[in-house]
């Protein structure tokens, strides 16, 4: 009985799909963060604190944090879609930072913070498990 083996490039479609999806998720998470940031900067009473927590920041400060993080997340997401060499490792680091920031953001917007945390965890998983494209072509 002969064993069949998978051709070398067979898994690359899955890897490219996971990487492309992670790039799109980073772009979407970046846009969401920018919108959260603009809302926090524009109106300080858009967000109300749910309970009392150790990490108490003014909503305007959180707005600036989310705005800047969102812009960087969007740029890195675009870099991942273009298969830039720096983008994958930067994406993992920034997705981790986004998870931490959104964990601390929980008292202000629990649902959106949990959605952003889930997106960040998925991005970390996708970028750490997908192999890079050997040809160096962009996934777009």
What tokens does 105 get?
């953001």
What tokens does 115 get?
């959605």
In a domain, 138, yes or no: no
For 139, the 3-state DSSP assignment is coil
Helices (H), 6-135: 12-42, 59-81, 87-105, 110-129
Compute the C-alpha angle 29/31/32, nearest 5°: 65
Q: Residue 71: its pLDDT value, please?
A: 95
Q: Residue 41: its pLDDT value, please?
A: 86
For 40, the 3-state DSSP assignment is helix
Listed as ranges, residues in the chain with pLDDT below 50 are 3-10, 134-135, 139
Q: Residue 53: its pLDDT value, please?
A: 62
In a domain, 64, yes or no: yes
- How far apart are alpha carbons 72 and 61 in whole angstroms? 17
In a domain, 36, yes or no: yes
Nearest to 133 by CA among 75, 76, 78, 88: 88
Farthest-apart Cα atoms in the chain, separation = 71
In a domain, 134, yes or no: no
- How far apart are alpha carbons 107 and 50 in whole angstroms? 5
Please count the structural domains in the chain: 1
Burial 100-116 (b: 16+ CB within 10 A, else e): ebbebbbbbbeebbeeb
pTM check: above 0.75: no
In a domain, 92, yes or no: yes
In a domain, 5, yes or no: no
In a domain, 17, yes or no: no
In a domain, 19, yes or no: no
| Structural domain containing residue 85 | 27-47+54-129
């Amino acid at each position: 009985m002969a064993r069949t083996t998978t051709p070398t490039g067979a898994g690359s479609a899955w890897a490219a799909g996971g990487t492309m999806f992670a790039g799109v998720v980073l772009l979407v998470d970046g846009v969401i963060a920018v919108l959260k940031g603009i809302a926090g900067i524009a109106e300080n009473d858009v967000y109300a604190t749910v309970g009392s927590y150790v990490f108490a920041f003014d909503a305007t400060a959180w707005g600036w944090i989310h705005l800047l993080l969102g812009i960087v997340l969007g740029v890195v997401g675009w870099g991942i879609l273009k298969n830039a060499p720096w983008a994958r490792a930067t994406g993992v680091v920034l997705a981790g930072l986004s998870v931490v920031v959104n964990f601390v953001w929980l008292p202000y917007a629990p649902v959106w913070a949990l959605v952003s945390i889930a997106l960040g965890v998925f991005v970390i998983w996708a970028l750490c498990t997908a192999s890079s494209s050997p040809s160096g072509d962009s996934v777009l």
